[in-house]
Structure 1
Amino acid sequence: MKRCRFPVIILRPQSRGRENMGMWRRRISTLGHIPRDTIVLLLVIVRLTTAACADDMPTTPRTPTPQPPMHEDSVDTIEGASMDLGVISSVIQASLSFLQPRTLDSHEIRDFALWGLNGLSALDPSLSIEEQHGFLQLAATQKTVLALPVPTADDVPGWSAAITRILDVAWHNSPAMRSTGQDGVLQGFFDELFNHLDPYSRYVPPGAAVSDRSTRTGGEGTAGLTLGVDHHAIIITAVNANGPAWPTTLAAGQIVRAINGRPTESRSLETVTSWLNGPNGSLVRIMVESKGRRSTVTLHRASTPPETVFAYTSGKHVVLHITAFSANTAEEMSQYLDEAMNVPGISGLIIDLRGNRGGVLQQAVTTSALMLDHGVAAITQGRDPQANHVWAVQGGDMTNGLPIIILVDGRTASAAEILAAALADQKRGVVIGSATLGKGLVQTIGQMPNGAELFVTWSRVLAPLGWPLQGLGVMPQVCTSLGESELERQLQDLAEGSADSREWIAAARQIRYPVDLARILTIRKACPAAIGTDGDLDAAHSLLDNPVEYHAALATIPEEGATPAGGG
């Protein structure tokens, strides 16, 4: 298993010092246009080899050459509208080629093909597929309409051609399939195929795939403005700090009077919002009015990932709420952490991951690097060599060892769990809340020839101390889901230097794959998953204000290299 190190070069960014009711915003400079008087944080990610450091960002398989249909022994088709067989063939062959080396467990191409073909019955119960005497037989209303020789178990072109031919003949023999449409047929095929794998592997059709990619990367060019309506006028309600409008004079509360010379009066909010969007790099002129004065700002549209980090001060503590892990999350965190360190009298950080469903694995790892001097952030294990490696970080804790609390709840999942586990196992922070969701499987994304995407689970995530996140989740060192009185008792025990959570923390860190489900359920019952409450923040403030409590909770994590007590 290769180790992937993420050197982090820390150059202190300049603080904007711009605050509004405790909420912070910040300018993000692109590396290609850094003003001389602005210093930004650079996250330098070095890949030792391509195989060692692959992440779960989109992977595009090579589009195979469609194969001609195989010879059929018995055909009785009905003339009618046809599917685009070239598209069908290319999608099937690309998907089978993408799946075979990447799924967590090894399967033959034959398995994938037969699982998917069984989805025909879901689209039309009168259709059925059977394998008899070396032939694949398609029956419609109990009458055989096609028989094809069974390809060898791992013959990708052969199975692709057979599936394409079977779908074509089924289409002509089934009004239900034709009414479903070509996209529906592919969806049915893949839905049934993925029913035999894990809950997170899936097929995303072309339209939804475009939307998903836009969410991850920012999509088409935009001004980075959120608009709303106030007294029948279109106004700016927010300026995205990741977008091109942030460095300009555009600000929340301004009335939008025109876009590219087109007046906004009597136009709908949806129409005016659409005017802000366009090709990356294209110009957009925005006329605004504030306090009776009008001005025009011209900027270049750019892909703008959604903001995922929000911050505010609470007494001597800074709360950083991470809502997801998208393309810019680590960069957003670096900016906020830099500003946090300039807050006078700050004594602790609270990282709120409650409700965070995850996102890009690499962003979680890189975010952990901002608060760790060195060490392992996560381990991923899969059959594909590119999925099987160690994620290690080194280079700089931006907070200089400031005490950290990580808030989690039953909705905290995936990349958010990776960050929480990394900081906890490295004794860099204390986790407060309830058992998290337990989504410790990583998907790689394959883009299909028709614009669709395959999300395929290809690795399991292990925390730095070797325990699996899948099913178990992250167990907190301070549990808030057992009621107020129980929480008070835990805090009192921590103040006296002892921790009630030591037993369940030790049990969780001893789990190894393959896991014993009954044992996992027993551990999770000690602090059952729940939705976070204000009690989480109260407990966080208590620990940060009382070093004895904080260090007692921190000490519940066993030392690295401790021998697990028994197998998984």
Structure 2
Amino acid sequence: MTSPDDPQTRELISQTIELVATRYIDPISREQILVSTLDGLSSIDENIRVDITPTDLVLQYDDRTVGKIALPASSDGMADHENLQIWSEITLTGLARYRAHSAKLRSTATKDIESALISGAIRNLDRYSRYEGPVRAENARNRRDGYIGIGVRVVGGSGYPVVKLVHAESPAARAGLHPGDQILTVNGEDMYGKASRYAADLLHGEEGTSVLLEVNAAKSNAITPMEILRERVIDRTVFDDVRDNILIARVSSFNSATASTLADSIMKAKLYDGGLHGVILDLRGNRGGLLQQGVAVADLFLADGPIGKTFSRVTAARHIFKAETGDLTNGAPLVVLIDGRTASSAELVAAALQDRHRAVLIGSTSFGKGSVQAINDLPNDGTLTFTWSRMTAPSGYTFDRIGLFPAICTKSGTGSTAIHKVANALSQRDETASVMMKWRKLDYQDEKSRRELRSVCPASTNGETFDVEVALELLKNNREYKNLAYVGQEEIADTFASQ
């Protein structure tokens, strides 16, 4: 059980309090974090309540004061390790006193107490702050950076594990595994009744090593031996198609391979007879992911100049992003599809391309998440994620809580066909320009104005194929495309040039 002398819990609490105090986007005192951390134990025992006075931490249980812990007079001038030790010592002392009164705490596993404490520390931060334990954190790392294995997901627990999914171009796909196949043995071990997690752990391993399988293919009685080399497997995030020399690329999120995969799709599309006539970048439903990958995606379509900027009280969180690699499409007309679930780094991509008059946005108002989260690894292999900066588009506005406004709103009632939508957008170009100007000047904290502007083209998450048809119609006429690409203000200057 957790005790004041538990080294891992002590280190976890030390890091949590210090990370939030020094790296969260808004200043928050260590005393406030301390109260929230201990108050997190109320998720285990509702009788726990923590108060604070200028000099003491007041521990209450079942409406009774059960202890007071003196707060440090000042931590200024202390060595960093001493500062960390003070706050973890107070937290674990409080935990020990609460355990003396709470049978629920005494019977709770260490990892669950740690989770309650860390979750408590961030409970009063914004809604994007979260704690993920070791298992969920590993799954999130795998989504971002890939994992070493053969590229399958299995379902286990009853009978032999069954292959649920095979990643395209993975070692498993090349070896001939298919959904529905049963895995009978792994490295000679019988897999009957084994759980999914257990089977997955056996299939993972060091890159370049091999795993031996015996497989019963779906709808077959044959048992097939296989030897498969493990390699890094990264989830597919780019799904492309070419229609009439126009690349339609749906990007579901941004992981470590997104930009390079999209670049490959562009290069392949350029090889078609007649070349590349345009690109439809579908960011509908894209909730973001790795910010640097979003920047790299925008960079694929820009010859030079600004992409965006982040601002923060934390020096390490301030960045200026500029295009560096050149426009891979050689200026081919570009449409970006957005909707109410387009968020975060996906919004930065769309905002940069819209501000730079490089793309026409089609769809509905986007989600409005212009904040950046830092992902911090913890000693227990979990992660602590919280907001540490906000993003601005090249024109200087932040789209946090506002979102992006499309030049062609497919969610409004006017225009029943793709041709009508494009025609209406052209006829209402001045009105759209006026809305965009107000959009870029809006204070994102002005709730009333924010709601009014967002209601002009309400956020939608239906994901209709109609949006693609409108985009294709627009790209048929380069003059109409340019007319809408330059709606709003003049070309954005490199506002970051002197910074």
Q: TM-score range by the shorter chain?
A: 0.7 to 0.9
**Structure 1 partner of 2:52:** 131
Does 2:314 align with 1:393? no
CA deviations on 1:78-134 (whole Å, 9 max, x unpaired) are: xx9857632221111111222222111112211111222233344323333233472
- 1:112 matches 2:38: no
1:110 to 1:396, Cα distance in 2 relative to 1, 3 A: same
Contact 1:462 1:469 in 2 (8 A): yes
Contact kept? 2:166, 2:172, Cα under 8 Å: no
CA deviation after TM superposition for structure 1 residue 281, in Å: 2.6
2:208 matched to which residue of 1? 281
2:451 matched residue in structure 1: 521
Which of 318, 323, 326 does residue 247 from structure 2 map onto?
318
Kept in 2: contact 1:438–1:471 (CA 8 A): yes
Task: Report the 3-state secondary structure (helix = DSSP H, G, I; strand = E; otherwise coil) of the residue aligned with 2:323.
Answer: strand
Percent identity over the alignment? 28
Structure 1 Cα separation of the partners of residues 35 and 252 of structure 2:
40
Q: Assess if the C-alpha contact under 8 Å between 1:94 and 1:448 holds in 2.
A: yes
Paired letter, 1:279 = E
Structure 1 residues 208 and 543, CA, compared in 2 at 3 Å: closer, same or farther?
A: same
Q: Report if the CA contact (8 A) 1:384-1:458 is conserved.
A: yes
**SS at 1:501's partner residue?**
helix
1:533 and 2:464 correspond = yes
* Residue 376 of structure 2 is aligned to residue 440 of structure 1: no
Q: 1:542 aligns with which of 454, 470, 473?
A: 473
- Code of the residue aligned with 2:372 in structure 1: it is V
1:14-50 deviations in whole A, cap 9, x for unaligned? xxxxxxxxxxxxxxxxxxxxxxxxxxxxxxxxxxxxx
Distance 2:46 2:112 in 1: 15
Q: Give the aligned partner of residue 257 of structure 2.
A: 328
- For residue 90 of structure 2, the aligned residue among 162, 180, 195 is 162
TM-score between the two structures when normalised by the length of structure 1: 0.75
* Richer in helix (by share): 2
2:124 to 196, 200, 204: 196
Q: CA-to-partner distance for each residue in 1:412-431, whole Å, 9 max, x for gaps? A: 11111111112111111111
Q: Is the 8 A contact 1:101 1:383 kept in 2?
A: no
Contact map agreement 2:309 2:321 (CA 8 A) in 1: yes
- Secondary structure of the 1:457 match is strand
Which residue of 277, 289, 299 corresponds with 1:359?
A: 289
Amino acid at match of 1:334: A
1:122 and 1:314, CA in 2 relative to 1: closer, same or farther beyond 3 A? same
Task: Decide which of 474, 478, 481 is 2:411's aligned counterpart.
Answer: 481
Q: Does 1:96 align with 2:17?
A: yes
Q: Is the 8 A contact 1:109 1:156 kept in 2?
A: no
The CA deviation at 1:496 is 5.9
Match of 1:510 in 2: 441
| 8 A Cα contact 1:407 1:431, kept in partner | yes
> Which amino acid in the other structure matches residue 408 of structure 1?
I
Give the secondary structure class of the aligned counterpart of 2:389: strand
CA contact (8 A) 2:415 2:424 kept: no
1:224 and 1:175 mapped to 2: Cα distance? Answer: 45
Deviation for aligned residue 1:347: 1.7
Distance 2:9 2:153 in 1: 40
Structure 1 residue corresponding to 2:311, chosen from 381, 386, 389: 381
User: Aligned with 1:394: secondary structure?
Assistant: coil
Name the structure 1 match of 2:278: 348
Match of 2:229, as an amino acid?
H
Q: Say which SS state the counterpart of residue 100 (structure 1) adopts.
A: helix
Choose from 69, 74, 84 the match for 1:148: 69
Aligned partners of 2:123, 2:48: CA distance in 1, in Å? 19
Q: State whether residues 371 and 399 of structure 1, in contact with CA within 8 Å, keep that contact through their aligned partners in structure 2.
A: yes
Give the conservation status (yes or no) of the 8 Å contact 2:356–2:492.
Answer: no
Mapped pair 1:461 → 2:391? yes
CA distance in 2, matches of 1:530, 1:404: 22
My pick for the range that moved more, 345-354 or 379-388, is 345-354
Tell me the equivalent position of 1:206.
Answer: 134
**CA apart distance, 1:253:** 8.7
* Larger CA deviation: 125-134 vs 92-101: 125-134
Change in CA separation of 1:166 and 1:227 when aligned onto 2, cut-off 3 Å: closer
Counterpart Cα distance in 1 of 2:184 and 2:66: 62
Superposition deviation, residue 201 in structure 1: 1.2
Quote how far apart the aligned CAs of 1:323 are.
0.8
Structure 2 match to 1:424: 354
- Are the structure 2 counterparts of residues 140 and 88 from structure 1 closer, same or farther at C-alpha, using a change threshold of 3 Å? same
Structure 1: runs of 5+ lacking an equivalent = 1-79, 563-568
Task: Specify the alignment match of 1:368 in structure 2.
Answer: 298
Q: Determine if contact 1:465/1:560 at 8 Å carries over to the other structure.
A: no
The question of whether the paired residues in 1 share the 8 Å contact of 2:287 and 2:346 is answered with yes
> Partners of 2:402 and 2:468 in 1: how far apart?
24
Distance change >3 Å, CA 227–CA 250, structure 1 → 2: farther
> Which amino acid letter does the alignment assign opposite residue 397 of structure 2?
W
Q: Tell me the secondary structure at the aligned position of residue 485 of structure 1.
A: coil
* Alignment partners' CA distance in 2, 1:131 and 1:266: 55
| Cα distance between partner residues in 1 of 2:363 and 2:237 | 21
Q: 1:233 to 1:106 in 2, by over 3 A?
A: closer
Paired residue for 2:496? none
Which one is further off, 114-123 or 454-463?
114-123
Could you tell which deviates more after superposition, 106-115 or 264-273? 264-273
Q: Deviations over 1:262-288 (max 9, x none)?
A: 699999995877664333331135688
Higher relative contact order (CA 8 A, sep 6+): 1
Most deviating of 467-476 and 295-304: 295-304
User: Counterpart of 1:446 in 2: which secondary structure?
Assistant: strand
Identify the residue that residue 80 of structure 2 maps to in structure 1.
none
Amino acid at match of 1:282: T
Instruction: Using the TM superposition, give the Cα deviation of residue 319 of structure 1 relative to its aligned residue in structure 2, in angstroms.
Output: 0.8
